[in-house]
Structures are given as structure tokens and as C-alpha cells.
Amino acid sequence: MADSLVVKAKIKDVAKGYNIAGDLADALSAKIEQLVKDACARAEANGRKTVMAKDL
């Protein structure tokens, strides 16, 4: 994966009181990337070029 879609410091803010494994950010970024790709496909299937929250 080239660039991460998440900010590691923000993960730590959300998971206060827990240790964060080094590979969590990469795994989370991969999941987000797939969610966005799926949302794009749904928008295209509905004849739109705008990806909306409802596409998630």
C-alpha cells in the first residue's frame, strides 16, 4: 500500500487506554480503501459520479 488513509495518532485518540499494534493502521487503511472502492462502484451502478454516504 502506497499511502495510508488513516492517521495513527487519531487511532490512538479513539483507543485511549489500549496499546495499538504497528500493523493496525495498515489493516484499517486497507479496509477503508475497499469501502471507498465499493462505494464508487455503487455510485457508478446508480448512474452517478458523486459518491455519497448512502453508497457505504
| Between 3 and 13, the higher pLDDT residue | 13
User: Could you tell me the pTM of the whole model?
Assistant: 0.83
pLDDT at 3: 87
Q: What is the DSSP string of 1-28?
A: --S-SS-HHHHHHHTTTS---TTHHHHH
Supply the Cα-derived Rg of the chain in whole angstroms: 14
Are 33 and 5 in contact, with CB atoms under 8 Å apart? Answer: yes
Q: What is the pLDDT of residues 9-33, one digit of tens each?
A: 999 999 999 999 989 999 999 999 9
Residue 1 has pLDDT above 60, yes or no: no
